[in-house]
Amino acid sequence: MKYARVNTLDKVFIHQDLTPRQREQRKKLVEELKVRRSQGEQNLIIVKDRILVKRYRGVATQESE
């Protein structure tokens, strides 16, 4: 009998241990993030308790001459 190899780790998630108050605040931030993305804003991330525009390190930007 042949058995298919099943990857059991593809449904494992690691989350921060948050208090109920922190979970509620995070939920509101996720909702705001979805709204802002639907309005066309890009490169947004949640850092601690704020939504920020993601900056890329080491990437030089060209300025128009």
Structural domain spans, the chain: 19-53
Residue 65, pLDDT score? 40
Residue 9, pLDDT score? 75
Predicted TM-score (pTM) above 0.95: no
* Average pLDDT of span 8-22: 85
Residue 48, pLDDT score? 87
C-alpha pair distances (Å), 45 with each of 33, 38, 40, 63: 8, 14, 14, 25
* Average pLDDT of span 49-58: 87
CB contact at 8 A, 29 and 46: yes
